[in-house]
Structure 1
Amino acid sequence: MFRKLSLVVLIPVCMLTLYLVLVTAEYFYESKQVRKELADRQVGQIKQQLLRMQAIVQSAQALQDIERIEQEVSLATLDMNVMVYILLDANSRIRFANHAVWRDSNAIEVIDGYDVIQHHAVVQSGLASISVNPERLSIQAYYPVEAQYPGATELVYLESDLAPLVAKASTELQQRFMRVWGLGALLLIGFTCVLYYLLIRPFKLLSKSAKHVGTPEFTIQVPWSAAEVLSLQTSLQQVHERLGRAVKQLNDSEQRWLFAVEGSRNGIWDWDLRTGEVFLSDRWKEMIGYLPDELEGAFQTWEARLHPDDKQAVLNCLDEYVSGKTKEFESVHRLLHRDGHYVWVFDRGMLVDWDHLGRPTRMIGIHVDVSESEKNHAAIAELVKQSASGHRMLPEAFMEQLSQYLSQRNRAGYWGALLFVNVDTHDISDSLSTHELERLLSQLGARLSSYFTENIVVAHIEFGNFAFLVKDLAVDAEMAGRRALALATELRQITMRPFHYGEHHFSLVANLGICLLDSVETLAPELVVRRAQLAMEHGKSSEHAGCAFYHPDLARALDPEPSLLNALQRAITDNQLSLMFQPVVDVYGKIESAEVLSRWSLANGEIVPVAQFISLAEQNGLVASLDLNVTERVCQLVKQFRQLGITLPRLTLNISTLSFCQADFIEQFIAVVRSYELDDKQLGVELAESVFLTSKAFVEPRIIQLVEAGIAITLDNFGAGQSALSCLHNYPLTEVKLDVHCAVSLLNDASWNQALIQAVQPFKLPIVAKGVESVQQQQLFTTLGCTHFQGYNIARALSLNDFKQLVCPRPLLRSV
């Protein structure tokens, strides 16, 4: 809304608001100062009065002159601001008072502001106590007097009313500020008018002119204004002129491009993915023996002429590129010639346009005839040969370079590192022959080599094991460690990018060990490699998530059980994971939503703990597949119930932080949801606080995509981490779920839960208490402000059949 406001409204409102804030702040500041000055002045007067009274009382008591004391007390009553003026003995009995009815009474019973403890403290210390009570707008004074005999006066107690003085000063201050505010408002209005004519009005004229830049209707008629506005006017005129020249150059370039294309003898194709229409250049048609007007411009024209042996592989390659699974489309295949024989062509294409939902809409490419050129055949054969061998450095050559670096690095003074990378090929060894597997690893070596500079030496030293010698990392160990860890993270991401080999698609998992190399210690190359290998083995453990540094006390860590990892992959692929549903209800017991939970039981009946198989999936790159699998199954379930006329409550899915941070996960997730055409807010995702505390530039676009797709967003486990209020302020959340440990600590100490709930309440978000296991817990959470509840007191995690019984009306159960 604010982005559409005109400067004509926005600037005056902002200036007036700022002026009001400043004037109001100054008023309250001066009001506070006036009160303080009044109180200080009154306290000074009281001190002088009490000092005089102390001397009079002590002398009068010594002379047994009681009348003199009564006269002084009577004089004190002439001050209209004095409310209480009494002289007390050690028993708090009032000996003299400005009101006769109080005499001989106990001060505790008749004087509200009197404090006997303060009385005795002042008498014992011999030091007067004069304090200002801002709430009662009064001054209280306890002044000690030396008692000359038992039962004599020992304290003067006084209360003086500040309210009349404060009221008078406040009235004068308000009158003065009204005059100042009125004069300032007039000056501000005048300044705003000047600002409109000098700045805002010229900007409006420039904005109107900018809509016609590059067209004959473009004119600039800006009156005299600020130098910056005139400079902008000049720049807009220059843009108009440059745009005109650019359009002419573009037209000229298009003509030259068409000539260059025809001159290069390459065929051009332009495919509209929405309609299936394909532009085929004359040269493209000529390659397969047709005249310019003889072939229909349609996708089937090309598809029908693919060689039967090449067709499926080419279409698969094209589909993978269009769907975003691969980064490029390149293919060498055969097309049917008009005369009946086949010609070899090199086909390369690129997506150039997408719709507002991110779906590709246009693709352009070229065809190159390579069937009649022996030179092209030789080049292709050489490329295949290089791909087979990869950019592999022999182990002997690598060890020689490592030895040379270890012996010469002392002179440089820089830290280096050796990274040992193990690629897990166990899961794909059954699908590929040994030769194909070696070729795949060689392609991985080529991919890794292409990403790094000469400062990094890459070698495939063993089957599935790569070594990276990183030179000149940093001059100190801490920075070298950080950079080595960043490089290791990049290596794992590159390795886990899918490989496409024939009809197969593979995702590899890498474990890394890092051995830092300082400029002092001299080591044998074999020892360095062994240390990095030990770190790699240690990095396979769950707490290191696939990457670890070498240290002297390092012990070999056990490998994750391969059979369990294989079983998890099959369980995801074959939908063997069980889906459980735990309801979330409001304070009236109505089911508002249900959290979808995954459970895994092995064939022998053993139940794998959730934390164990989720950790295994995250360490081995399966968690995104797991999350997408659960998403699709839940969408299918919602669609089935909708076809039966049943609307389920909102189902929320737990999305791993690792999944959320993957480059294309959110797009895949949204594509799955949209394919089932679910209603808005029918599906939700639960994200941990750590997701929102990463870079806002990274998180915000993904959150916006989810919201635009109608996905409800829940902040999960609030209170387990930093409990950052920025998460609640910056993102469009649907609800907040407290961490389950809040319920555990509730009965012993509710202060933490109360603080969390009070922090969320100003954001007007539903607050879900998790792990509620008793009626007492639910009642306490309700008292603290929770609006929704989840836990065993409501319902355990239910199977699909039990969930049906809970949410479906009885007559519908027969048809479910």
Structure 2
Amino acid sequence: MFRKLSLAVLLPLCMLTLYLVLVIGEYLFESEQVLVELAQRQSALIKQQLFRMQNVVQSAQSSQDVERIEQEVALTGLDTNTMVYILVDAESRIRFANHTVWRDSNAIQVIDGFDAARHQVVTQAFLPQILVNFQRLTIQAYYPVIPQYGGAIDLIYLESDLAPLAIEASSKLQQRFIRIWGIGGLLLIGFTLMLYFLVIRPLHILSQAAKNVGTSAFSVLIPWGSSEVLSLKSSLQQAHQRLERTVQQLNDSELRWLFAVESSRNGIWDWNISTGEVFLSDRWKEMIGYAPDELAEVFLTWETRLHPDDKHSVLDALQEYVSGKSKEFESVHRLLHRDGHYVWVLDRGMLVDWDPQGRPTRMIGIHIDVSESAKNHAAITALVDQSVAGRKMLPDVFMARLSQFLIEGNSAGQWGALFLVEIDSLGLVTTLSSHELERLMTQVVARLSSYFTENVIVTLLESGHFVLLAKDLAIDAAIAARRSLAIASELRQVIARPFHYGCHYFELNSNIGICLLDSIEMLDPALVMYRAELAVLNAKKTDQAGCAFYHSEMDLHQSRDEQLLRELQEALKKESLTLMFQPVMNVNSELISAEVLTRWYRADGEYIAPAEFIALAEQGAIITQLDLWATKRVCQFIQQSEQQGRSLPTLTLNISTFSFGQADFVDAFVTLVKEYEVTNEQLGIELNETALLMQPQFVEQRIRKLVDAGVSIVLDHFGSGSSALNCLVNQPLAAVKLDISCVESLISMPQRVNALIVSARQFNLRVIAKGVESPEQYQAFAELGCDSYQGYLFSRALNQTDFIQLVNSSLQRRSV
């Protein structure tokens, strides 16, 4: 209702209401204050009167002058406001009163307000009490008197009526407020008129003129217009001019958008979800063989043309996106062509409008014809062959294109680049079936094909491996290298965008190797691919950010890596690797557990660092074999110690994320634990957070098997990643080991270390500090709340013999 009122009515009404509220509130407040002040004045007068009467009574009782008391009481009774004035003895019997009829009566029986209990309190304490009753508008006074003999007066009781005085004071207050209201009302009317002429009327004129903004009628003169009103008028004019420019830009953008759409040859659709109507662009209809006016623009036009094998998954993906369960809608599926065959399309869409209740009402998207990519994929699958080494060879189609480019590129003088993309598919194999994984890779190909121009050829080699050939990058080598790096960065970003397949939701990571193709050097296609593979291996290093160029030094390094990998395989067969034990101590320097470490010394005595040979084992796909070998040796050691009557602390094994992700690794691990009868708390495994942050269903199944087998789980490198708190919440961990970087953070950022320890302690987890090498570091970790320590301050990594001695000495100290 108030929205329809004019300011000319609404503003005075609000001011009048506010004025009345303030005046009435002030009147009620002052009424209360006047009554309180009146009561205080009357109480003071009564107190003076009773004090005088006390002296008169005491003097008269001493001289047995009863008539003097009679006279004083009679004088007091002349006051019309005094309702009760009595003098009573200790038995509350009235000895004197302003009304003779009350004499010799009991005050409790004849005086309503008289309180015998208060009488006793006042006379015993000899402290007068004056009480004000604002509800009855009376004052009661109890004034003690010292009795001179038995049965003498010991209390003066007075009850005074405040009502006449209150009425008189209220009348004066009302007269004063009537004068104030009258003067204030006149001032309010004057202020309202001034406000109308200075503010409301100029705004009204401006609002009427605003209907004609942009025309000559808007330049109407506004009388008495303030600077703010004139500024508002100027702002409206400027806003209108900006709006006209924006509309023009919008029209221009629409024309450019139409041109871009037509140039890209992508089909556009716009779906009104509430009505089911769908706008289908001419290109959309052309993709499936129809003229612009041949298809009804409704949702069923698209739905009924979905391939039966694709329909269920596509509609589920669309429903999950519309309902908010997934972040985006992207699907590769087939649509029925007018001629009867099916066309592969990449379908992307996004919600653009919602109703007031938050329900989606509009969705727009594009269709990209990726039939050629799908055909290439089918051809590649048919052309793949197995080599002697067991690796899938390149498709003849792509090799032919690469060979053709290497010849043509040399003659044209243009640099090119070959990109080998390896997607980290850890966890995908166990989550998806082979058919589902193939369909997911098809989506990746479709996305890449739709993103890059015809200058880039995209091909799927095998599951998780793609190759892209970028032609005609530049004549200059440095420029070609920069453009290649930009393409590689775009590739990683495009692949990293989430994929939705069925009930699964994937975020993929990739590593890219780049081999620049010289315009002069004539290379064999197989050699180009080999160099790209070397670059991919280098891209996996932490300092490469997922992208790496091939350079000649990689050939030498690869030769050494291949030699070391062969020797490592031989060392595993001969079991010539060594186990070391790194003790973990508590605050009392007692041995509570030990981390089992694998060490490798070559036949010539050269020591190979664990980081180097473990990386080789992962690249050569023998890391699982290495982890299971270490597990078997540790289980044998535990069993032998049990048979010799020696009780070992918990031994923990570092398990590679790659091994943990293999389908049969955990089953093989548990089989070894049961075979050697390893009991609870004798064996544990240390996992990085990357292993625990894979697909939840995949991780939970494996963790449950390990816990059921009595294997404890330790989160290693706690604080090195960004999602470790999820591991603390969701996994049954026994302890966490702080990342080695926390040692340096003790000085540079102690609050970071404290936050990590506090977060782990919140879940009742044991916190182990690694790399403790000095008493100062130990003291700092202890003050922050760590309860276990590992490092050279306590012990170096020990061989099996030295570790047994440490265990025996620890047992002897405990027994003592």
Normalising by structure 1, what TM-score? 0.48
TM-score, normalised relative to structure 2: 0.48
**Which of structures 1 and 2 has the bigger CA Rg?**
2
